[in-house]
Amino acid sequence: MAPKTAAPDAPEKTATLESFNPATGEVVGEVPTITPDQVQGIVDEVAAVQPAWAQLSASDRAGYIDRAAAILLERIDEIARLLTAEQGKPISESYTMELLPSIDALKWCAKEGPKILKDEKISFPQALFKTKTSKFRFQPIGVVGVIAPWNYPWTIPVQEIAIALLCGNGVVLKPASLTPLLGEEIQRAFEDAGVPQGLIRTVHGGGRIGDALTKSSAGKIFFTGSVPVGYKVGEECAKLMKGCVLELGGKDPMIVLEDAKMDFAAAGALWGSFANSGQTCAGIERIYVRREVSDRFIGDLVSGATGLKVGDPTEVDTEIGPMVSEDQYHLVNELVDDAIANGAERLCGGPVEIEGFTGKFIAPTVLTGVNHDMRIMKEEIFGPVVTVMTVDSDEEALRLSNDSEFGLGASVWTGDRQRGERIGDQIEAGMVWINDHMFTHGACQCTWGGVKDSGLGHSHSKFGFYECVEIKLVTYERGLARNFWWHPYDQTFSDAIRSSAKLLYGKGGERIEGLKSGAGPLLKVGRRVIRRDD
């Protein structure tokens, strides 16, 4: 999911990158960095290991992925603590939003991956092709580059790496510079599961390293981050005639209809808006509620928001942790302040200080009185802030929902499933949830991806597998007869072709006419087809 800000490059003369706890400011650890000119050599080293891995069957590769799931389960508490220390996510969300979904995804990939990657037979209903057999084969790309974000620094790269590996590829992982230790831990988990040394490599050094990886000979790039950087990644990949999958953020709308269950919808809005301190690209940022129920819904939302606990992310009952960085904190407050200066009303929330912590915290914030001329309704907030607008019709809610350059996810809350699906079909988004929001990121069988500026391509699901392979068509001809359309070309051939068109694709009378006019030419061409010169 797409962070609002890019991590700064590592200093030019520094050989290590330090990781800081966003709640306390303390150093969590450090990792060695590389320079951009070293990236291609690392890609080459992975490419040297990859062919042997690709020779294994998909079922054999799946065994390693399944073992990786077992290792994550063994280390779940250790990794959860690291996630909370390095990214600031409340410890409960480290389990629910990162680790449990990752383990489940690895198990699903190990079970379903070999079936997805199995050769797919193609049928030929055409009479002319009855002597032929054909199939799709799914072959590795080679080396896949994964440029990961800081907001979901575990589950996003783990799932992308698992699918890439199962497809027979090697991987170069570039973690976000705010969460480098988690990148190292991901590589260690896969290697401890038995994945060959050197098949996964982790590289650090800021945005320059991601740029060098994009420009390297890696066959495909998976990038999660900001829209401007995503466009650059796409442009560089296009120059090299290689593919990329871009997940660039969102401005997800939530439509609350008058027949929705209000307490249920308000509870969903709280989680969808404020989970991970709002640092989620598919989080709810805009709510459009029908006027008939707006007072109750807004009241429930504000009451719930003020009841969420902001504080120490290591405590199990904390619901809102710190912003990942001071820069992110200032960006969120800038958007809120701009909205208030232009007429918006803050019903609750805002910056807060937590005793004993130096990190930057923002309490869950609800804004009303907003309009689409404000920056906050156009730009991705990426913090614990949600805006609410009252609408008078389904059509107005739909129009406002689509009034965005983003198109990642959206949700419709209603007691009428058909009505919800009808509205959902008209929302410009890659994913629509009815009476829920965002949960399918934790279900790897469901595809993930957006439209418009929210990105390109898909991760997860069978479509995520297809992003990690070259799809090759293989056909076989038994050679019992020559093809109908082979040389020589002459009048007999021309007459037979025209008659064949009527026989194959015409209706009753046309078929009879084709048979009458083409019987002779067809018979002559048929003799040519079955003639053998050996």
Cα-based distances in Å from 137 to 121, 443, 468: 9, 26, 13
> Would you state the pLDDT for residue 13?
52
Q: Which residue bears the tokens 């802030």? A: 385
360 & 373 share domain: yes
Are 272 and 369 part of one and the same domain? Answer: yes
> Do 204 and 80 lie in a common domain?
yes
* Contact present, 97 and 275 (Cβ < 8 Å): yes
CA distance 192 to 172: 17
Q: Is the pLDDT of residue 531 over 80?
A: no
Domain check: are 338 and 377 in the same one? yes
User: Per-residue pLDDT tens for 112-151?
Assistant: 999 999 999 999 998 888 889 999 999 999 999 999 999 9
Task: Give residue 353's domain range.
Answer: 252-443
Residue type, 98: E
Residue linked to tokens 């249920």: 264
Report the C-alpha gap between 424 and 438 in whole angstroms: 14
Q: Is 351 helix (H, G, I), strand (E, B) or coil?
A: strand
Regarding whether 299 and 235 lie in a shared domain, the answer is no
Give the Cα separation of 273 and 341 in Å (integer): 22
Regarding whether 256 and 195 lie in a shared domain, the answer is no
Residues 204, 75 share a domain:
yes
Q: List, edge to edge, every strand of the sheet that includes 132-140.
A: 120-122, 132-140, 469-477
Q: 377: domain CATH number?
A: 3.40.309.10
Backbone angles phi, psi at 389, to 5 degrees: -125, 140
Residue 13 lies in a domain: no
**Distances in Å between the alpha carbon of 23 and those of 9, 96, 275, 479, 505?**
22, 20, 16, 71, 70
Length of the chain: 534
pLDDT at position 14 over 60: no
CATH assignment at residue 201: 3.40.605.10
Catalytic (active-site) positions: 247, 281
What per-residue string of b and e applies to 277-313 under the rule 16 or more CB within 10 Å gives b? bbbbbbbbbbbbbbeebbeebbebbbebbeebebbbb
The per-residue pLDDT for range 23-53, each reduced to its tens digit, is 999 999 999 999 999 999 999 999 999 999 9
* 45 falls within a domain: yes
Assess if residue 2 is contained within a domain: no
387 domain residue, yes or no: yes
Mean pLDDT in residue range 140-168:
98
Write down the pLDDT at residue 4: 46
pLDDT for res 138: 98
Is the same domain home to 230 and 303? no
pLDDT score for 9: 47
Residues 208 and 256 in one domain: no
Domain shared by 260 and 382, yes or no: yes
Confidence of residue 329 (pLDDT cuts 50, 70, 90): very high
For residue 189, give the nearest of 179, 178, 180, 200 by alpha carbon.
200
Whole-number mean pLDDT of the chain? Answer: 95
Quick check: 50 and 170 in contact, CB under 8 A?
yes
Flag whether pLDDT at 10 surpasses 50. no
The reply to whether 256 and 244 lie within a common domain is: no
Among residues of the chain, what percentage have pLDDT more than 70? Answer: 97
Question: Is 165 a member of any domain?
Answer: yes
Number of structural domains (the chain) is: 3
Could you tell me if residue 453 is inside a domain? no
Structural domain includes residue 16: no
Give yes or no: residues 271 and 221 share one domain.
Answer: no
**pLDDT value at position 503?**
86
**DSSP 8-state code for residue 38:** G
Domain annotation covers residue 451: no
Tens digits of residue pLDDT in 452-475: 999 999 999 999 999 999 999 999
CB 388 within 8 A of CB 289: yes
Q: Tell me: pLDDT of 11 over 50.
A: no
Can you tell me the distance from the alpha carbon of 223 to that of 174, in angstroms, rounded to the nearest whole number? 10
Q: What is the DSSP letter of 174?
A: E
